[in-house]
Chain A
Amino acid sequence: MKADKAGVLTGSHVLNGNQACAEGALAAGCRFLGLYPIVPSIEVSERFLARAPEVGATFIQMEDEISALAAVLGASWTGKKSMTVTSGPGLSLMMEHLGLGIMLETPCVIADIQSVGPGLGLPTHAAQGDMMQARWGSHGDYEIVALAPSSPQEMFDFTIKAFNFSERYRIPVAIMSDAYVAQLEETVVIPPADQINIETRRYYEGAKDSYLPFKRDKDFVPPMVDIGQGYRFHVTGLTHDDRGYPIMFEECQEYNVHPLMWKVRNAVDKIVEVQETNTDDAEVVVISYGATSRAVLKAIKQARESGIKAGGLKLVTVWPFPEKRVTELAKKAKAIVVPEMNFGQIVLEVERNGYGEANIFFLPHGDKGAEYSEDILAAIKRASQTSEAKSGIIEIS
């Protein structure tokens, strides 16, 4: 399906990452924004609101992030593609309705513009400290899709991807950006509407009286209906049967919750996306995502110039994690370097999938910013010189 022209601002623009995210949402067909203001995500809302009247979108600023995501879920059931935008402290509050969105299988997008935590942290400074929270922060078992853009252009592109995944699998999808990418101004090229592929939730087409809200198709995704169409359906956040009625037996974990995992796990090959640079002959592979991957490109180039066979794997989808590819690379390479703007999150996934195959070096740079490539270069050099296998993650301090 092609994008609706109304939301697509075709042309070449200078936008910051947040503005590009709003444009991506509008291009993807998002027509509802539920928001609560938080630095450094503000321009997403401001841009969306400024454009809303001409696009035909609606919005509401709620009383907190809890209600912002609650309103988004409600709006999604009216048939409008819906999103919210926040930062770390807001994401913490949204964990409740992330879980409800998973359980009600409600398509929606959450853009998290990460800043430094924990607690109040440093709201204006970039970080990648919410990566595990997006995956594990809500109680109970679930799978999520999360994308990590590294430029305003990717903020636009990945926001469209996020909506497509969320509609296809009926799940909340997270855009894990950060203050650096969000505030960075660059050229963003928005293609004509007929060159943008968008996906929309699959609607139920059978008889009204035989509609079952959670009857799954072969991909474990139940077709959806909007409110107000005469289906008079019921959905509950409790474990439930195909009719959406609560079932309070432990068997329901298997019947109801397990398929929530399958619908993502079985589609991993269709969801996972990475971008690789010089990995064919790489002895040292740098695995990164988001803003950090910008500095990695420079460091890899410098390493090659100094004779080290360095390569890079950039995660487009952080969740689901590209497990297979990381294991393959770990088998081929001597060492893996993981730089992150935190004190060790995604490196744990790299360790889990590459352990025993290659030495894994972790480079925390919580306070240096994404433009800092010298540290990454030094880490690559050190990794290339370490020959003996060492256990655990080797943290570079």
Chain B
Amino acid sequence: MMETPKTDEKQEIHPMENLLRMDRMPHIWCPTCGIGLAVTAFTAALEKANIDPNTVSIVSGIGCTGRVAGYVKLDSFHTTHGRPIAFATGIKVASPKTKVVVFSGDGDLMAIGGNHFIHAARRNIDMLVVCVNNFIYAMTGGQVAPTTPLAAYATTSPYGCVEPPFNIPYLAESSGAVYVARWTTLHIRRLTNSLTEALQKTGFSVVEAISPCGMYYSRINRLGDGLDMMRFYHDNVEIRHGEDTKNLDIGFQTKIICGKFVDRERPSYNERYNQWLSEVKTAGRHSKGQKGSKK
């Protein structure tokens, strides 16, 4: 075993220490995993967007990325599998001044949580959804996900995946999201910029962060280690801002199109709700429901 080198230098402080739960380090993520990079980009974006951390609530579901809520020093909730968006919706509707972030994985948000994802987008709930996509269920040991590319191997697709995957940006846009971007965790600076923009946006914003999974996805598909995955991203990512989200399918080891695809305005749920409320209060709109009387 290697000895830790002794040094007289003052111990270095992590620049994001004020936004991380240092008492929980080291984290559980495997070497070469990209989730940590996504968290770094997110904490940097929080600072860049100049958002008071005390006003932020972050909600995660289950899985590797589901652990993010436990490592960031914000009001943070580690909730049920697939339901962080539903939980976060309750927070946002009950407390409109809260900045709400959902940080979870592709399996959590797109499979078991897929319904909540499209409905929150339809309602345009004001929240940022960061979806770390590693193409596989990693926490449970490498099962096929709704994002696993056709023909890719997983423990539950031993002959290659036969189901076409979701194109997350396309699903997000067609469901109503106002901001949609995709980067890999190699593109840390661009990912940070997108997260910063998304944090400043009002409405349902989705940032997909494609991440290497050196332990399961790469290994079962013989794609090398994490560095090889990063090299693959370097050589095969094409940046096309404003690309039609229809064209963003990801195949097995095919080129990956990244960029900012959607940045539009739609009234958020809370804006519509407040508008409705003001109309009710100025007698412009009457409830058809049963009204209590003080007879």
Residues of A within 8 A of B (CB): 9-13, 19, 23, 31-32, 34, 43, 46-47, 49-51, 53, 58-60, 62-64, 66-67, 70-80, 82, 96-97, 100, 104, 227-238, 243, 245-246
Contacts and interface: CB of A to CB of B under 8 A. Distances in A.
Contact of A32 (B88, B90, B294): B90
B173 to A, nearest CB: 19
A58 B289 contact: no
Contacts of A75: 90-91, 93-95
Interface in B278-295: 280-281, 287, 289-295
Contact of A62 (B59, B69, B89, B290): B89
Nearest to B270: A58
B73 interface: yes
Contact of B292 (A51, A67, A246): A51
Contact of A237 (B80, B91, B281): B80
A96 B112 CA distance: 13
Contact of A245 (B24, B86, B116, B295): B24
Kindly list the 6 A-B residue pairs having the minimum CB-CB distance in the complex, ordered from nearest.
A74-B90, A71-B90, A50-B289, A67-B86, A75-B94, A236-B78
5 contacts: A47-B292, A51-B292, A67-B119, A71-B86, A236-B69
Contacts of B90: 32, 34, 60, 70-76, 78, 82
Contacts of B75: 77, 227-228, 231-233
Contact of B80 (A9, A60, A97): A97
B70 interface: yes
A18 to B, nearest CB: 10
User: Do most interface residues of chain A lie in helix, strand or loop, or is the interface mixed?
Assistant: mixed
A184 to B, nearest CB: 16
B51 interface: no
Nearest to B277: A53
Given A11-B294, A43-B290, A62-B89, A232 B80 contact: no
B74 interface: yes
Contact of A46 (B116, B289, B293): B289
A71 B287 contact: no
Contacts of B294: 9-11
Contacts of A238: 78
Interface centre among B87, B287, B291 (most CB of A within 10 A): B87
B222 to A, nearest CB: 31
B192 to A, nearest CB: 21
B292 A234 contact: no
A58 B93 CA distance: 7
B77 interface: yes
A7 B294 CA distance: 13
A82 B289 CA distance: 20
Contacts of B292: 9, 13, 23, 47, 50-51
Interface residues of B, number: 46
Interface string B81-113: 001001111110111011000000000000000
A299 to B, nearest CB: 34
Contacts of A64: 115
B193 interface: no
B115 A63 contact: yes
A79 B79 CA distance: 18
B55 interface: yes
Nearest to A74: B90
Contacts of B201: none
B57 to A, nearest CB: 5
B190 interface: no
B98 A60 contact: no
Contacts of A246: 70, 78
B21 interface: yes
Given A227-B57, A246-B70, A70 B87 contact: yes
Contacts of A62: 86, 89, 119
Residue of A34, A53, A238 with most partner-chain B CB within 10 A? A53
A227 B53 contact: no
Interface string B228-242: 000000000000000
Interface string B179-200: 0000000000000000000000
Given A63-B119, A97-B80, 8 more contacts: A11-B294, A32-B93, A32-B94, A50-B287, A64-B115, A78-B91, A232-B73, A234-B76
Contact of A78 (B21, B55, B98): B98
Given A70-B79, A73-B87, A50 B291 contact: yes
Given A62-B86, A63-B119, A74-B88, A80 B79 contact: no
A328 B79 CA distance: 43
A34 B97 CA distance: 19
Contact of A71 (B24, B87, B291): B87
A78 to B, nearest CB: 4
B94 A235 contact: no
B275 interface: no
A66 B54 contact: no
Contacts of A230: 54
